[in-house]
């Protein structure tokens, strides 16, 4: 790497992690990439966390596929992890379910949160998901995309496709 050359951070981190796997020491990497020792540690820690989350997500998806059951209760955080939501959406939903003191949810109940339902005390319909504090449209569509992209098993996928039609018509 020549002095003054700039490479995108993601590419730098990819190169960094590859060299680390090949046995280069942290000190040498820090020197080569002009990083502090604490930054070297953080890059490795972030990579480990990302890999761990990917493994956790894969295990959860496998469990969903094997169960293929709309009514089975799942730990809320596990289901949210399987969906691969954007960070803010995941946090808002974790907070929402914690506030409701609900630590488990079925796929059916979660899917129903995406479909319009009557708003109590008012004369209109709205997705319960859009009523989650701080979620907003971006969060709503993150959940819809997560459910659409997720392979939950044949029956669950078919059930989501039926609901998705309703979601797309209304939103």
Q: Which residues of the chain have pLDDT under 50?
A: none
Residues sharing a CB contact under 8 Å with residue 17, sequence separation 6 or more, in sequence order:
43, 44, 47
In this prediction, residue 6 carries a pLDDT of 73
Q: What is the per-residue pLDDT for 46?
A: 92
Provide the token pair at 132.
Answer: 């989650």
Report the alpha-carbon distance of residue 125 to residue 113 in Å, rounded.
12
In the chain, what are the domain boundaries? 9-45, 68-170
pLDDT at 171: 64
Q: What is the pLDDT of residue 9?
A: 85
d(CA 96, CA 129): 10
Write down the pLDDT at residue 91.
96
Reported as a single tens digit per residue, the pLDDT across 113-130 is: 999 887 787 778 889 999
CA distance 104 to 95: 13
């Amino acid at each position: 790497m020549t002095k003054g050359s700039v490479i995108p951070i993601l590419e730098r981190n990819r190169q960094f992690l590859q060299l680390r796997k090949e046995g280069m020491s942290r000190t040498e990497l820090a020197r080569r990439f002009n990083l502090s020792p604490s930054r070297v540690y953080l890059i490795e820690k972030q990579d480990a966390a990302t890999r761990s989350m990917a493994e956790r997500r894969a295990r959860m998806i496998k469990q969903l596929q094997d169960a293929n059951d709309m009514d089975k209760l799942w730990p809320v955080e596990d289901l949210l992890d399987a969906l691969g939501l954007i960070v803010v959406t995941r946090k808002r939903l974790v907070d929402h379910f914690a506030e409701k003191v609900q630590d488990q949810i079925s796929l059916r109940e979660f899917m129903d949160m995406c479909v319009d339902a009557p708003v109590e005390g008012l004369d209109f319909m709205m997705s319960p998901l859009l009523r989650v504090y701080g979620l907003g449209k971006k969060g709503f569509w993150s959940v819809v995309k997560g459910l659409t992209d997720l392979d939950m098993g044949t029956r669950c996928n078919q059930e989501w496709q039926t609901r998705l039609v309703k979601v797309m018509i209304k939103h």
